[in-house]
Structure 1
C-alpha cells in the first residue's frame, strides 16, 4: 500500500467540483449538528462510489459503511447487521421496546420486530454513537438493500435534522426502491468532454492514438468507469489488440446479446466490422461492407435499436456494446471482418493498422503477417508507443511458424510488456519462448532467464531477485559478456535494495563476479566504468573507488541527453553520486532519466527515479516539490504494478517535524521492509526517525534510531546517516560512540572533497570540538554548504553554530546565526528544527514571530506541480507532457490555481511562496 495512503486523504475528483461542493456543505451542516440524508443516483460506473470515498475521508467525522449486495437482497436485516453490529455494546441503553425490536432483528431474541420500534432503535443507536463525534453512514449499492433494512434506514433518514448524523445512499439509476423516493437527491451525469479527456490522460500515461482517444471519449459519454475500463484492452495499445479482451459484466453482456440476436445477419456482420475497426471512420466501414457483400443500409436496424449511430463517425451507444458485439461473433465472422478491413486500409498511410487487421484475419501461423507486425512494432516503439509495440510483437509471436523465430519474437514482446509494467504478461511470454527454444540455444535461454529475473525484481525486491540476476549473468557470460555485465549492474542494484536482509554476502558476490568479468580490450562503456567502481568500493573500500566512481558519474552526467540507460544503471549512478556527495550530478541524472521515461511512456522505471528526485528536492529544501513527486510516485507504482516506493514519504514527514505522521509511516514502512525483505527501506526508515528526533532535540532516541543503519556500510547512505548519528551521539554525551563514526566520515569526505561532503564533515567535527577551533569549523562548514545544493544542511549548520555561540555567551553572534537558521528552516517547512532555533532565540532573549499564514498559498500536489512548471515558463502542452495530463486539464487546474492565489496571469506565479496542502 503506497505510503501516501497510510493516512486518509481527500481524493480530488476530476469534473466533480459541483458535486464535491454539495457534499462538503452537507457535511458541514452535519458537523454543526444538523444532520440529514442524501441519495446519490446515477448509472453504473458514473462515480457514485468515488463520491462516497470522497466523503469517507472527510476530517472530523466518524464513518460507518454499508454495501448492498444482490445475493443478500432477500436476506432480512442484512444491511442493518453491517451498520449496527459494532454498536451493540450500547444496546442496554435503549428503551425496552426498541431494544427488543433490535434484538429480534439481530436474532438475539425470538419474535418479529416492530418496524416503528426498530427504526427508533436504529436512530437512537446512531445518535448514541455520534455523542463524541459526528457520524456519517455511507450506504453503497442501496438498490440491493434488503427491504427490511431499507425501510429502517429510510425511517432514520427522515429524522436526522437535529442529530449530528448523516446518511448517504448511492443508488444505481434507474433502480432503487420506493423507500428512498422522497429523500433529497444528487443526480450524477457524465463528465464533460474536457474532464473526460483529463481523466483518460491522467490514468493512461502511455501514448495513445488521437483518433482512438476521441472515439473512447465519444462512446464513453462521460462515464468514468467506461473511460477507465475501455482503454485497458485495444485502445491503450493504440487500437492494436483484440476488442473485448476484457469481458463485459455478465448481465450487461447478456442484455446486449439478446438485442443483437434479433437483428438481421447482415446487420450483425456490419456491427462486427464496426467493432473490429478502432477508429470509427464511416468511409472505411462502407468500403469493408461492400467487400463483405453487405448493403450499407443494413446499419439502419442497428441504429433503430439504439446500438450505434453513423454520422461523421461510427459510434456505439455504450463502450460495452462494442465488446459484446465482438465477443458474440463466431471466429470465422471475426476473421472475415478483419480481412475486409485490411483490404480497404491504405498500406502506405496506415501500414500498422493494415498489418494488425491482417494478423486478425488469419486462422493460423503466417510468417509474412508476423514479419509485417514486427516492422510495425519497430515503428511504434520509435514513436514512443511501447504498449502498441508490445501488442504487435505478442501477436507476431503467436503467428510465427518457426519455433526459433517465435521464441525471439516472444522475448521481444516480453521485454516490451515489462517496459509497460505488465509483469504477468511478460512472464507468460517468457514461458512461451522457453518452450520453443532448443536445448543448444544458450543465448536465448540466457536472455529468457535474464528477463525473468528482471521482472522478478520489478515485482519484489528481495534476495531471490538478486540470486536470479546473478544466475542469469553467469548464464549470459559465455555468449554475451556485455549483456552479462548489464545484468551484474542490475544485480548490484537489487543487492543494494535487499541490503541487510540478504541471505549471504550478496554485494561481495556481485562485486567478485564483476571483477572476474571485466571488459576486454575494447573501450569500456559508461556501464562498465560504473560497475568497476562499485566493485572496487565493495572489495577495496570507498577511498580506492572514488576515482572510478567520480569518472563514471561525470561521464553519465555529461552524456548526450538522448542516451537511455537500463534502470539498474540509473539507480546505481544516482547512488554513486550520493556516495560522492555530488548533489548536482544526482539531480541532473534523475531529471534526465525521468524526462526520458515520460517521453517513452516507460512506467516501470519511473517510481524509483521520481523517488530519487524527490529526495534531491528534500536535500535542497524544496519540500513542496518533493511532496508533489511523492503523490505521483505512488500513482505510477500502482499503474506499473511495482512495489510501493515509500522512502520519501517517511523522510519528508521527518524533515517537516511531523511526529505523528512520521511514526505512523515508519511503523508501516518497517513492517513492509521485513515482509518484502527490503533492507534499503529499513535504512531509510531508521534515517527518518533519526532526523525527526534530532529535530525534536531527543538525541538519545535519535542515536538509537540511527545506530543500526550506521553500523552498515551500504551504497547510497553514507552521505546521510553518519551525519545524523554524530549529531545525536555528540548531543547525547556519547563521544565514545561518535568518534569512530566521525573518523570514517572524515575519511570519506576527505576522499570526496565536494562542498556538501566538506561542509557536513566540518559541521560534524565541530560538534566534537571545543573552543575557538569549533567556531572556525562551524564557520567554514557554513561557507562550504553554501556552495552546495544542500539547503537543509546549511540551515542546520547555522542552527548548530548558533546553539554553540549561545552556550559560549556570545549572544549577539548567536542571534545572528539562529535568526538566519530560523528563517530558512521555517521557510522550507522544517518545523521541528525551526522550533529548536526559536527556543534558542528565546533563551537568548529574542522573541520570534511565525511567518504569516497568508503568505503561503496551499495547493494540491498536482496543482503545485503545475504551478511550479508554469512558473518556469513551460507551456500547458509541455506541462501536460511531463505530468501525463491533457493540456485542457492543465488549463483547468491553472484556473483553480489562479483563483486560489488571487492572480490572473502565468507570469505572476514566479516568486510566489507555494505550499502543498497536507492531508491527514
Structure 2
C-alpha cells in the first residue's frame, strides 16, 4: 500500500481494494495510507460508509469528496448533483469532471472505508469513475469487510478487479504476530495455557486485545519468570459482553447517547440522539464530551461516530427487543422531523412497527415510491417490509407485492423475487389477488429475459375465469410483448400472429376497463408484431396510436415509454430524422419520469438508426454506451440484444475477435436462461461464420438456426432490408440453394407487405438477381438502392454488379463507388474487399482514415463530431468528453482527428478559437460548454 501511495505522489493513478473481517485492521491500514499520502503532498478525500448509507443515494462518495481542508466538491457541486439525481449518468459525468480537474492541480487519494455498506448509486459511480479516471492522478483505496452476495458494492468491486484494480486481503495475524501483540499488551510472553485462549481470537487484533484486556482486568493473568499465565476458569462471557462492559463505565447520560447512536446506525448529531432519547440537548452535551474523551466516540465536525463499529454492534445487540422497538420508532419520528431521507426514517419506523400499523405502512409505501427510481434495491427492502407488516387480507397487498417484485428484479435480486412471488402465489386469497401477483411475477421474469416461464405464468393467470378485466388487460399486454421479445425461444408462431392477437385483446379489454397503460402497451406490442411480420406502414400507425393514448392519459401509461417503439417504426420506415427526434424526446421523458431502464433501450434504438444510415463509428459508440448502461441497471434482455448488435458492427469493421467474444458471452447468458433476441443472435452467428470462412466454400458452415425461421420471421430484414441479399450470398457461397431461396422469399414477403418501403423493393429485386446471376437484374437493383437511404446496402449491390460486369470501365466505376461508400461508413471489411478488386484492375487506393472524412470545413463536421468539438472547446479533456457523452475514449480520439483534418487545425487551442467564431457567426444554439448529450438529426451536420 505504501508503494501505491508513493506512485500516487509521483502522479500514477490506480485502484486498490483492501478487505478483511471486522476488527482485522483494515481501517487502520487506510488511515495510515491517508497520513502517508498527506505527508507526501497528496490531497486526501476520506469517507466511511455506514449501514444506513444505502438509504441515501450517493452519500458515501459525496461525503468523501466533500471532506478535508480543500474538498473536491463544494456546495454548488452538491446542489448540481442533487439536481441530476434522476439521471445517474449525468451525475457520473459531473463527478468525473470535478475529480479530473482537481487531480490536474495535485495528486488525489480517495479513501472509501466500510464499502460493504455503501449505497447503490455510490457503487455504480465508483464502478464507472475508476476506469474513466485511470489516466488521472487519482489513487482509489476501497476498504471494508468481505462483500456478501447481497452487497450492492460486490458487483462493482468484482468488475474493477477484472479491469485491473489490485486486491489486497488483510488476513489474520500470524502466530508470531499474535504472540508479539500479547507480549506487548500483558508485559510478558504468553504461556501455553494463555496461548490456547488467545487462539480463540483467530488472529483478529481487535478481538485479541479485548480478550486480553478482559482477562487482565479480571485479575486472571499472572506473570511469573517473564511468562504470562491465565488462571483456570471459564472464558469471559463472550466478546460481545466484554465490549458491552466498557459502556458500564460511562455515566447514564453517556450510555444513553451511545445507545441512541447505535440505533441510528450512522454518524449522528447530538440533537438527533437527544431526540431519540426524549431529553433536552443540554443534557447530552456533557455526555458527548465524556464519550469522546473516553474514546468511545469520535467527533467529526457536527457529527459523532463510533471509533469502531464493533462497539456500536455490541451496544446495539445488548439492547432488549422492546427497547430496540421503542428507540427505532422514536428515531423514525426524529429523522422525519429533521428532514432526513424518507427511506431512512421509514426503516426505523418499520423496525418498531407491529403488523397492521397504519402509520408504518403509509411511511414505508411513501418512502419506497420516493426512492425506487434511484435505489431500487433499497426500495425493495422497504416494500418487502411493507408486505411483512401488512395484513394478509389487505386488498392493496397484491399491488405492494407487484411493486416489490419489480424493485427486486430491477436491482438484479431475481432469487428473492422468485421466493417472494412463489410465497404470495401460494397464499393469494382470491382470483383477483392471484392474477395480480402472477402478473408481478411474470413481469419480473420478463425483466430477466426468461421468456418460456413468463408465458407459462401468464397463460395460467388468463385461464382463470374469475380474473377481472383490468388484470386480464395487463396480462394480455405482457403476453404480447413477451411473444415479440422471445417468441422464438418459446416455440411460438414465428409470424407473430399470436403477439398481434394478444396485443389486440389488451387494447380491447383496456379500453373497456379504463386501463390506458394496458391500451398503450397493447398498441406498442401490435406495432412490434407488425414490424416482425414486415408490415411497416401498419407498425407506424399502431405506434402513433400508443403514443397518443399515453400523452392523453398520462400516468402509468407513459411509463411504458411508447416513443421508443414509435421511433423504431419510423426508423424502419426510413423516416430517420423523425425517428431520432422520437428517441431524443423519449429519452428526456424517461429521465423525467424516473424510468431509467428505458434509457439504454432508447440508446440501442438510436444505435440501429446510425447503422442504417451507414455511420458505424456512431453506431458502435452508442451501442457501447447502451451495453454499459444495461449492465449497470441489470437489464439482461437489453444487454443480449446489444451484444448481438455490437458483434455485427464488429464484423463490419473487420474485428472478428471482438465479435466472437461478444457472441460467446451472449451464449453463456442464453444458456443461463436469458432467452431473448434469439433471432438477432442467430443472425450475428451466421454473419460471423461467413466472415471467418473468408469465401472458402468448404470451410463455410452457416448453421441451421436462422434459416429454419425464414421466411415467416422477417424482423431482422425489416430493420435492415439489405440483410436479405446478404443471407442469399452466404447461402450460395456455402452451396445451400434451399436456404438461399428461404432468404429470398423473406425479402419478397417484406416487399409485398410494405410496398412503400424503397429498400424493401430494392432488396426483392436484388435477391432475385443474385439467384439468377444476370447483370441486368443487379444493375436494376443498384438503381433501386440509390433511392433508399441505405449506403451499406447500396455498396453491397455495387459489389455484386461489379463482379458480373464484363466491361472493365463499368466494373472499375462500380468498385470505386463501393469502396467510397464502405470507407465513408467505416466498414473496413467491405472497403478491403473493394480495394483488393481495384488493385486487380490496376488501381491503387489507400484505406480510408476515417469513417466520416468526406469533405473539409464546418460543413463536413458530423453531429457526433460537433458534440465533441463543443466540449473540447470548453476545456474538457478527451476522457472527460468520453464520460460526458458516454463514448469510448478511442471514439473521441477518432472524432478529434477527423475534426483537425477537416478544419485544418493542429491544436486544441486553435480549435477552441475557431469554434467560438463559428458559433458566433452561425448563431448556433448553445455554447461550447453546453451539456449536449442528446442526439441530433442523422442527416444534419
TM-score normalised according to structure 1 size? 0.62
Q: 1:385 to 1:672 in 2, by over 3 A?
A: closer
| Alignment-derived partner of residue 647 in structure 1 | 644
| Alignment-derived partner of residue 540 in structure 2 | 550
Q: 1:372 to 1:734 in 2, by over 3 A?
A: closer
Structure 1 residue 746, shift from structure 2 partner: 2.7
Q: 1:22 to 1:419 in 2, by over 3 A?
A: closer
Structure 2, unpaired ranges of 5+: 31-35, 69-108, 126-147, 154-169, 171-201, 211-238, 854-861, 901-906, 919-927, 929-941
Alpha-carbon distance between aligned partners in 2 of 1:196 and 1:570, rounded to the nearest angstrom: 41
| Alignment-derived partner of residue 845 in structure 1 | 842
Of residues 742, 747, 750 in structure 2, which corresponds to 1:748? 750
Alpha-carbon distance between aligned partners in 2 of 1:196 and 1:365, rounded to the nearest angstrom: 39
CA deviations over 1:306-358 (Å, ceiling 9, x no partner): 74324234455678876776566554444344344344446595693655543
Q: Does 1:484 align with 2:454?
A: no
Alpha-carbon distance between aligned partners in 2 of 1:302 and 1:595, rounded to the nearest angstrom: 51
- Tell whether the 8 Å contact from 2:527 to 2:538 is kept in structure 1 after alignment: yes
Q: 1:466 to 1:193 in 2, by over 3 A?
A: farther
Bigger drift between 747-756 and 729-738 goes to: 729-738
- Tell whether the 8 Å contact from 1:730 to 1:738 is kept in structure 2 after alignment: yes
Of residues 772, 778, 781 in structure 2, which corresponds to 1:777? 781
- Tell whether the 8 Å contact from 2:480 to 2:499 is kept in structure 1 after alignment: yes
CA deviations over 1:169-225 (Å, ceiling 9, x no partner): xx99869xxxxxxxxx9999999778989x99xxx9x99557676446679993356
Of residues 246, 249, 259 in structure 2, which corresponds to 1:262? 246
- Tell whether the 8 Å contact from 1:579 to 1:715 is kept in structure 2 after alignment: no
Structure 1 residue 847, shift from structure 2 partner: 0.5
Structure 1 residue 840, shift from structure 2 partner: 1.8
Of residues 455, 475, 478 in structure 1, which corresponds to 2:444? 455
Alpha-carbon distance between aligned partners in 2 of 1:508 and 1:735, rounded to the nearest angstrom: 28
- Superposition pairs for residues 347-426 of structure 1, below 5 Å? 347=337, 352=342, 354=345, 356-362=347-353, 365-380=356-371, 389-401=379-391, 403-405=393-395, 407-408=397-398, 409-426=400-417
- Superposition pairs for residues 637-716 of structure 1, below 5 Å? 637-643=630-636, 645=640, 646-667=643-664, 669-670=666-667, 672-673=669-670, 676=673, 678=675, 680-681=677-678, 683-690=680-687, 693=690, 698=695, 700=697, 704-705=701-702, 708-712=705-709, 713-714=712-713, 716=715
Alpha-carbon distance between aligned partners in 2 of 1:466 and 1:686, rounded to the nearest angstrom: 24
**Whose RCO is larger (CA < 8 A, sep 6+)?**
1
Q: Does 1:819 align with 2:819?
A: no
| Alignment-derived partner of residue 522 in structure 2 | 528
Alpha-carbon distance between aligned partners in 1 of 2:875 and 2:394, rounded to the nearest angstrom: 44
| Alignment-derived partner of residue 5 in structure 1 | none
- Tell whether the 8 Å contact from 1:427 to 1:452 is kept in structure 2 after alignment: yes
| Alignment-derived partner of residue 118 in structure 2 | 230
| Alignment-derived partner of residue 903 in structure 1 | 908
CA deviations over 1:660-694 (Å, ceiling 9, x no partner): 33344445544654553737336424435426736
Of residues 612, 615, 629 in structure 2, which corresponds to 1:619? 612
- Tell whether the 8 Å contact from 2:329 to 2:349 is kept in structure 1 after alignment: yes
Bigger drift between 405-414 and 510-519 goes to: 510-519
| Alignment-derived partner of residue 272 in structure 2 | 285
Alpha-carbon distance between aligned partners in 2 of 1:345 and 1:675, rounded to the nearest angstrom: 44
CA deviations over 1:280-329 (Å, ceiling 9, x no partner): 56363254266257623323354342743242344556788767765665
| Alignment-derived partner of residue 502 in structure 1 | 490
Structure 1, unpaired ranges of 5+: 1-13, 25-39, 47-69, 71-142, 145-170, 176-184, 238-243, 857-863, 913-920
| Alignment-derived partner of residue 757 in structure 1 | 760
**The residue matched to 1:222 in structure 2 has which SS?**
strand
CA deviations over 1:415-442 (Å, ceiling 9, x no partner): 343344443443444356446642xx22
- Tell whether the 8 Å contact from 1:492 to 1:510 is kept in structure 2 after alignment: yes
Alpha-carbon distance between aligned partners in 2 of 1:708 and 1:552, rounded to the nearest angstrom: 30
Structure 1 residue 447, shift from structure 2 partner: 0.9
Alpha-carbon distance between aligned partners in 1 of 2:335 and 2:578, rounded to the nearest angstrom: 50
How many equivalent residue pairs? 717
CA deviations over 1:840-887 (Å, ceiling 9, x no partner): 22122210113459999xxxxxxx9998855577999999xx999899
Structure 1 residue 445, shift from structure 2 partner: 1.0
CA deviations over 1:24-56 (Å, ceiling 9, x no partner): 9xxxxxxxxxxxxxxx9x78349xxxxxxxxxx
- Tell whether the 8 Å contact from 1:422 to 1:640 is kept in structure 2 after alignment: no
**The residue matched to 1:455 in structure 2 has which SS?**
helix
Structure 1 residue 455, shift from structure 2 partner: 1.6
Structure 1 residue 778, shift from structure 2 partner: 0.5
Alpha-carbon distance between aligned partners in 2 of 1:865 and 1:346, rounded to the nearest angstrom: 48
TM-score normalised according to structure 2 size? 0.61
Structure 1 residue 574, shift from structure 2 partner: 7.2
Q: 1:638 to 1:317 in 2, by over 3 A?
A: farther
**The residue matched to 2:299 in structure 1 has which SS?**
strand
Q: Tell me how large the CA RMSD over aligned residues is.
A: 5.9
Alpha-carbon distance between aligned partners in 2 of 1:743 and 1:420, rounded to the nearest angstrom: 43
